[in-house]
Each structure stands twice: as C-alpha cells, then as structure tokens.
Structure 1
Amino acid sequence: MITFSELNLNPKVLKAVQEAGYETPTPIQADAIPSALEGRDVLGIAQTGTGKTAGFTLPMLSLLARGRARARMPRSLVLCPTRELAAQVAESFDTYSKYLKLTKALLIGGVSFKEQDKLIDKGVDVLIATPGRLLDHFERGKLLLTGVQIMVVDEADRMLDMGFIPDIERIFSLTPFTRQTLFFSATMAPEIERITNTFLQSPVRVEVARQATASETIDQHVVMIKPSRRERADTEKRDTLRAILDAEGEACTNAIIFCNRKIDVDVVAKSLGKYGYDAAPIHGDLEQSQRTRTLDGFRAGELRFLVASDVAARGLDVPAVSHVINYDVPGHPEDYVHRIGRTGRAGRAGKAITICNPRDEKALAAVEALIQRPIPRLADPTAPRPAQDELDAAQADDRDTAKPERSGSTGRSRGISRSRGGSRRKTEAAPDTAPAPEASVTEATPAPTAGTSPAEEHTPAPRQDTPPAEHKERRTRSGDRGGDSGARVVGMGDHLPGFIALSLDERRTG
C-alpha cells in the first residue's frame, strides 16, 4: 500500500501531513497528486468525503514552495461555490502549510472589503474565493489574475451547473492560458463534462468510484408519509421529523437536517427549538458572522442539530456527523449524494433518512435512478400500528355485541346486531333462556251452507285471491319478527281465514 512519503511531496508539506495524523492517502489522493505534481491538468471524480480537498491542496503547496507572490497578483486561485466550503479549504491550507512561508487570502461575501484589500495588497500565494466576491475585487481594480499559475475549481459540477457558468468563463479569460487547471467533484454529468473540456488541456481523468455514488458506510432509508389533509401537510411532516429523531435516540449524537427552501430552514429550526431540541439554522440569507458561529458550534459539539439549506451540502467537513436527515427530497438528484456525504466520512458509519411525501415521489425515483439502487423504506413512526388498530376494532365489536337490543311486538329479542362493517349476524341465545311459547290463534270459519261436505267446510280459501308479492312480503316480515325464517307461522300468515274470502253478499246471506 502506498504512503504519503512515496508521493514526492515537499518535505515540509509531508511533515505537516504526518503531524496531522495521516499516513496513507485515499485512492483519489494517490492517483491525483502524482499527476498534479507533474504539472498536468486533472479532472478528479470521487465520492464525497474521500479527501478531494487534500488531493489538490498538497500538490499546490509543493509546487508553490519556491517563489514569491507580488502585490495584487496571486500565484494560485481556488474557486468554491459557497462561503463555508471556501473557509474550510482555507483551514486545510493553514494545516498543511504550517512549515512553509506562504501567504493566503480568503475572499468571501459578508466580510469587509477593507480587510481583504489589505491582504491582497501585500501579495498572496494562495487566493481562495467565491466567484462573486472575486469579480467584485477585480472590477474595483484591486486584483489582477495574470500571475495565476495554478487554478482549482472545487465542486466543479455545482460551479458550472448552478448559474456560475458566465462568471467562471470570465474568470478563466482573465488568467494566463499556460496555467495548470484542476477540477474536482463528486458528480460530473456528461453535459457538464463537455464544458470542462473547454477549460482543461489534455486532462488526466482520475475516477476512483462510479459517479454519483454514496459511501458504502452510509445506511440509507426513506420514510414515506401521506398527510391526512393538505392544510396539515407541513405540520404532520414536522411531527414525523421529531418522531424520527426520537426513534434514533442516543444513536443520533448529532445531525444535519437539509431543507430545499431557506424559509423552511427557519421554520423547522424554530419548531425544533419550540419542542426542546437543540437546533439552529444556517442558509445564505443569514449574516456571515452568524453562519460562522453556528457552524463552529456544530463542529465543536455545542449544537446537536444543524438545519441547513444546500449551502452546507457541498464539501462541508464535520467528521463526526452521525445522521443526515433530508426533510425534503432534493430537486437535483446529485444534491442527494452531496447531502448524505456529510455523514459516513473517512470510513465512519453513518445514517441518512429521507422524508418523502406523495408530491416528492418523482424526485425520489430520480435519486434512485442516479445511485442505481432502491432505497429501503422505513415505517412512518407517527402512523398508528396495525396491531393496535385491530385490537381497538375487536374491542369495539365486543361493546356493540354487549348492547341490549330493543324488543319487538312479540316481546322477544331480535337477536341480530350490526358490526362495524355494516354486515348483519345472528347472536347465539343464552343457554338458560327458555323458548317463547307459540301463540295460539283460533281461526274464524263461516257457517256451513247447503250442499257442503264436512271436508269442504274446513278447507281454506284458495290462495290465488291474494297476490304472490303480498305473500312474499308477509313471509319476510314474519321471519324478521320471529328470528327464525323457517318456523311455521299461524294467523295472518300463509293460512287465510275463510270468511275473508267470502263476498259481501255471501256474508249477508250467511
């Protein structure tokens, strides 16, 4: 296995690396550093958290160890998409250049121009900047880029894909054509790669892992939620977030919670604080001093939950982040890789949980297509448990069965109850219940007429005098009253008294 001592780094740089506790380079460092030391252009692609920053910092310091910067003409330039990433790169230069007499300047927004002008006027070997602030200094006549020997674009896909293309093209046009250019990123879409070909000359492509892949040490999950009502969607989503944090318990030592919108960052942070969670927001609309304090507190372990926009998704290095929670599914699938890359860094184990509602399912499908694997689903911790639902339903049925039924005209219980599903069922009679006595009804018969035999005197009237439909209706009602549709019914049932069948004249003569 290769070590840093075999990479031909400057001895003073190597000493600083060893004191920082590093002996073995990561794959991206082992492949990119030799090519960069040879002065070649490099296009480096590797998973987030694999040490890309050191992959360009160490060779830059070794190449800049000789020489001296002139006023307002930096010797090297590092472009970063966010202030936080730029500040982090500046810290890496401080760590590895402790034994070199090199100067640096950090040009980011939210800081006074006056202090930055003083550093540039003295001359800097390494200039680390965001594109907007760099062009501001140039347009004010405080900076010249004609002395740049090495130029680095960190998080290249983000720089080129999120509206920075015009600024990047202008900055490149202000630097010498003979410069050395290094591009590093975790993702590199084909259309973005075509743009980089205009900035790099015969680059060495260093790709140590498949593009847009997350570290295998990150345990990824998705919680699918479905709001009960549209107006309660946001409230129930925040309930789910708190339930997830509670379910993780002590295993969640700290977490970064990512939101798509800045306004949601503030709302979620305020909501967590209201319920007693140690949380603070960070996004681009906050003052730089506040952003710095919040980030420093999170790194120092003084803040447990950092609610952030994608300003913290790129290159932010906090080694001990145990969890990443995606409060929203990112709109760009590549951002998912960068977000979850804030955990599981440097071989550590990490966990990433994404909350997805129905309207985000298409974005989730795009993420799974990018990483080429399905993300396991977790049950919604706020959803009722099915076992409890069944128990509650059974108890409700028992209560319904125990309720007394209203008695009918015959004084007997119907013996029928209605279940929750709407079906009717017969209940068993109690063993000590005596059967009701059968009613005795005496039929009224007309007086015998002349010429009528005794057998004919007791023969009931023909049934065809009553329509069949009426017979059917009476049978149905009779079965309902008796509780047993098969029992024989006397009286006004199927046996019609004879006098009813007689005509009015016959009744008068009789």
Structure 2
Amino acid sequence: MFAQFALHERLLKAVAELKFAEPTPVQVAAIPPALEGRDLRVIAQTGSGKTAAFVLPLLHRLLGAERPKIRTRALILLPTRELAQQTLKQVETFAQFTFLKAGLITGGEDFKVQAAMMRKEPDVLIGTPGRLIEHLEAGNLLLEAVEVLVLDEADRMLDMGFAEDAQRLAAACSGPRQTLLFSATSGGNALREVIGAVLKDPLHLKLNAVGELNEGTRQQIITADHNVHKEQLVHWLLEHESYAKAIVFTNTRAAADRLYGHMVAKGIKAFVLHGDKDQKDRKLAIERLKQGGAKVLVATDVAARGLDVEGLDLVINFDMPRSGDEYVHRIGRTGRAGGEGLAVSLICHGDWNLMSSIERYLKQQFERRTIKELKGSYQGPKKVKASGKAAGFKKKKTDKKGAAKAPAKRKSGPRPNADKPALVSQDGLAPLKRRKPAGE
C-alpha cells in the first residue's frame, strides 16, 4: 500500500482517489530514497509507473516546506511535447488536493502566452528542452530557486540531440537541488557524461535489464520480399489480429504518409503522427486514439516518443528500428501493467542483419512466424556450406553411382630412379632436386 511511504496526507488522498492499490517495483525502489533527498539515476522500462515514482516525492517536498510563495521550485524535462502534456496531467491529478500549480512549456504554442504564464511563477514547470532554452535566452525563465530537477526519458532526450540543452538548463538551476534522472535504457557515453555533470553521489537503481521487456508481450518476426509485401502484411495483421489499439512504426515520414494513405483507402480508421504535423493535428491524433475514434496510429519514433495510451496491445514495426534501445522503446508501449501484447517486426533482406544485432543486444530470439496466405520467397539468409577446397580437403572421386572410388593401385616393379640415392640439403632437412648431368 502507498501508506507505507511517508507521503503528505493530501497526496495519499489523491492516490486513494485514483484507486491505486499496490505500488509498482520502481515506485517501491525509488520513492523512499527520493523522499530522503538523494539524487537518483533510475533505469525503468516504459509503462512501469516511473512518473509517479518522481512526481509524488517532488510534490511531497514542495508541500513540506513552510515558506512564502517564491519562484518555480521544480523543473521536469521531457523529450517530446506529448510526453510533457501527459506528465502535466499526472502532476495536476496528484496535486488536486493541494495548492500547488504546474505549468507547461513546449514548442507549437504561443510564446508570449507561455511567457505570461511563467510570470505567475508556477510551483512546477514541465517542458521540452528546446522551447525552455528559448525562454531562458529571452529572460523569461528563472530557475535559481529550483529545488528538484527531473530528467525523464533522458536516454531518448539525448538521442534527439538535447544533451547540451539539458546540461545548460541544469546549470541554470544554480541553487541547492535534488536531481532525479530516469531512462528506459542504460544509454551510451552521452548519457554517462550528463549523469556525471548533473547528479551528485547518485543512487543507481536498475529495475530491469534492457532485455527484460514486458513479460506479457510476444515478439515475432515475419519475413517479406519488399515494401509492397510489407504493406500487405500490415493490412492482414490489422484485419486478423485481436487488438483494441495498434501502432505501426516507420523510420521515415514519407513511409508513414504512404502507409496511412493505403489504410484510409481500405477503410481502416487510422491517424498519422510525425514531425511535419502541427500541434493541433498531433493532439487530435492522440485524443482520437485514446478515445477510440481511431484504432490505428501510424507514427515515426520521434513523434510517438513517450506516448502512454491505455489498451495498446499491438505494435507493428514496418521498418526495423535502428538500435536495440529504440526497439525497447517501441514495444515497451504494449503489454503494460500485466496485460498481454504483440509486437511484430517485418523483415526484408536488408533488415535481417539489423534484426539479428537487436536479438544479440537483447539476448533473445524472436519468434519466427509465417502467414500462409502471404508467404513470400524470402525466408532469411541461406546457410552456405564451406566447399571442400575452402575447408582444405580434396574432393573424393566417385563413380557413376556416387560411391567413392578406391585409390588406383601402383603397378608392381621398382620405382623410377629407386636405385639412385636421394639428395638432401646441407642441413639434412629439405630434399634437393636432382640435376641432370650435361648430355644426359
């Protein structure tokens, strides 16, 4: 029960109102040290309840200090506007019985309206690094009083090129502060550099290894001959699989638009989400998916990052993601909270090596699946046996029936030059060729 945590009574009331029963593993591990004021570096998969793991301790700290109203005291950084909007809703839900206020700063919204909101100095500011830097440079963003800094989905934030912006915003939080950093994967050198720069003596919590994905999610691959074949497979899966909501991932905006067009032509209720879409269209797509107005979302990684859609139980990789971490982020959206999910990756000849490298990275082997109605000619790389010559063996001679021929017998009688002594080199090791005498 959440009562085991020493949280403010108003926060516990909000938790009870939400009918949260048992805390998740990441909440059990992260909330107590966060309440103690420790810096944390937490690896936890998407959908594990990590937002509550940092929001509840953050709000508890702001409620505990009896001080007059001052500037913004908490900053939460996230990679995308969609994830920032979802986090704002969760902060407001947990803070519903308190006096704490939160504000949102992302791209795609009126800059002046955002500046006016910040002049009211909300207790918690939630935003994306790019737009926050713009306000920092314009003199609208004052972070000296920040007591808690949170970097959520930090690995993806750095993948999107926000490493420098994140460190700059952290440096602007110049007062004494607690920093909480969450990511779904261990990340690379860039993440380690940021951790060293923004965290002080952090407690490292690893709630899942990268290969420990949602247990309820089946992972399959289906081989395909080409993109047209892939499109046929997508339509078959959407027509024959049982699902409430589905996401189809592509690596490019052009592929997303093309696939979306084919779906609309076939009467499939779908929306497309990528970087070229404006904020209004993005909001509409997500709301329609959540409310059931559309069952399928076609999206690129950047646009769909951080989406938290209840009832999402089918993920199709039209294009194989370019890294193991990206694969984890994609399929981590299905099979949440103990539910079942299905992740299917479509593999052409050019995708096989990438797929194999992701299997090695995850230390898993994906289930191979064949759809009889759409079985293609490509079934994976052919196993090439080493030839006899390549292996260093001579090919045996066979007769017409295929049986190995016996070696030819040598004719009886003395060997040629058998009576002549063999010549050897001076060291007695290598035989020398006999030279013919002149006139022989």
Q: TM-score normalised by the shorter chain: which range applies?
A: 0.7 to 0.9
2:216 equivalent to 1:225: no
Separation in 1 of the partners of 2:14 and 2:209? 31
- Counterpart residue identity of residue 327, structure 2: Y
The Cα offsets for residues 460-491 of structure 1, whole Å up to 9 and x where unpaired, read as xxxxxxxxxxxxxxxxxxxxxxxxxxxxxxxx
**1:7-86 to 2 correspondence within 5 Å?**
7-65=5-63, 66=65, 67=67, 69-70=69-70, 73-86=71-84
- Counterpart residue identity of residue 273, structure 2: I
Farther-moved stretch of structure 1 (359-368 vs 185-194): 185-194
- Counterpart residue identity of residue 326, structure 1: N
Q: Among the aligned pairs, what percent are the same residue?
A: 39
Separation in 1 of the partners of 2:248 and 2:210? 24
Residue number in structure 2 paired with 1:347: 338
Q: Tell me if the contact between 1:243 and 1:381 (Cα under 8 Å) persists in the aligned partners.
A: no
**1:229-268 to 2 correspondence within 5 Å?**
233-248=226-241, 251-268=242-259
The Cα offsets for residues 1-29 of structure 1, whole Å up to 9 and x where unpaired, read as xx210111111011101111102110100
Separation in 1 of the partners of 2:175 and 2:158? 20
2:174 to 166, 173, 176: 176
**3-state secondary structure, aligned to 2:76:** strand
Separation in 1 of the partners of 2:95 and 2:199? 27
1:376 to 363, 367, 372: 367
Residue number in structure 2 paired with 1:166: 164
1:213 positional shift: 2.9
Q: Tell me if the contact between 2:316 and 2:344 (Cα under 8 Å) persists in the aligned partners.
A: yes
Higher relative contact order (CA 8 A, sep 6+): 2
Q: Tell me if the contact between 1:212 and 1:334 (Cα under 8 Å) persists in the aligned partners.
A: no
Separation in 2 of the partners of 1:100 and 1:295? 29
**3-state secondary structure, aligned to 2:209:** coil
**3-state secondary structure, aligned to 1:117:** helix
**1:240-319 to 2 correspondence within 5 Å?**
240-248=233-241, 251-319=242-310
- Counterpart residue identity of residue 95, structure 2: S
The Cα offsets for residues 69-115 of structure 1, whole Å up to 9 and x where unpaired, read as 43xx4211000001100011001001100001111110011111122
Q: Tell me if the contact between 1:84 and 1:311 (Cα under 8 Å) persists in the aligned partners.
A: no
**3-state secondary structure, aligned to 2:374:** coil
- Counterpart residue identity of residue 125, structure 1: D
**3-state secondary structure, aligned to 2:218:** strand
List runs of 5+ in structure 1 lacking aligned partners. 227-232, 387-510
Residue number in structure 2 paired with 1:408: none
1:161 positional shift: 3.0
Task: Pick closer, same or farther for the CA change 1:129–1:256 going to 2, 3 Å.
Answer: same
- Counterpart residue identity of residue 115, structure 2: D
**1:180-195 to 2 correspondence within 5 Å?**
180-195=178-193
Q: Tell me if the contact between 1:265 and 1:308 (Cα under 8 Å) persists in the aligned partners.
A: yes
- Counterpart residue identity of residue 323, structure 2: H
The Cα offsets for residues 5-60 of structure 1, whole Å up to 9 and x where unpaired, read as 01111110111011111021101001100111111100111122111111101111
Q: Tell me if the contact between 2:318 and 2:346 (Cα under 8 Å) persists in the aligned partners.
A: yes
**3-state secondary structure, aligned to 1:322:** strand
Residue number in structure 1 paired with 2:420: none
The Cα offsets for residues 107-151 of structure 1, whole Å up to 9 and x where unpaired, read as 011111122122111111100010010011111111111111100
2:88 to 82, 85, 90: 90
- Counterpart residue identity of residue 235, structure 1: V
Q: Tell me if the contact between 1:42 and 1:181 (Cα under 8 Å) persists in the aligned partners.
A: yes
Residue number in structure 2 paired with 1:204: 203
Residue number in structure 1 paired with 2:425: none
**RMSD between aligned residues:** 1.7
- Counterpart residue identity of residue 204, structure 2: R
**3-state secondary structure, aligned to 1:178:** coil
- Counterpart residue identity of residue 264, structure 2: G
Q: Tell me if the contact between 2:74 and 2:123 (Cα under 8 Å) persists in the aligned partners.
A: yes
Q: Tell me if the contact between 1:90 and 1:106 (Cα under 8 Å) persists in the aligned partners.
A: yes
User: Normalising by the residue count of structure 2, what TM-score does the alignment of the two structures yield?
Assistant: 0.82
Task: Pick closer, same or farther for the CA change 1:212–1:92 going to 2, 3 Å.
Answer: farther
- Counterpart residue identity of residue 383, structure 1: L
- Counterpart residue identity of residue 130, structure 1: T
- Counterpart residue identity of residue 224, structure 2: I
Separation in 1 of the partners of 2:376 and 2:327? 30
User: Normalising by the residue count of structure 1, what TM-score does the alignment of the two structures yield?
Assistant: 0.71
List runs of 5+ in structure 2 lacking aligned partners. 378-440
Separation in 2 of the partners of 1:120 and 1:157? 27
Q: Tell me if the contact between 2:224 and 2:376 (Cα under 8 Å) persists in the aligned partners.
A: no
Residue number in structure 2 paired with 1:146: 144
The Cα offsets for residues 356-393 of structure 1, whole Å up to 9 and x where unpaired, read as 1111112211221221100011114553599xxxxxxx
1:189 positional shift: 2.8
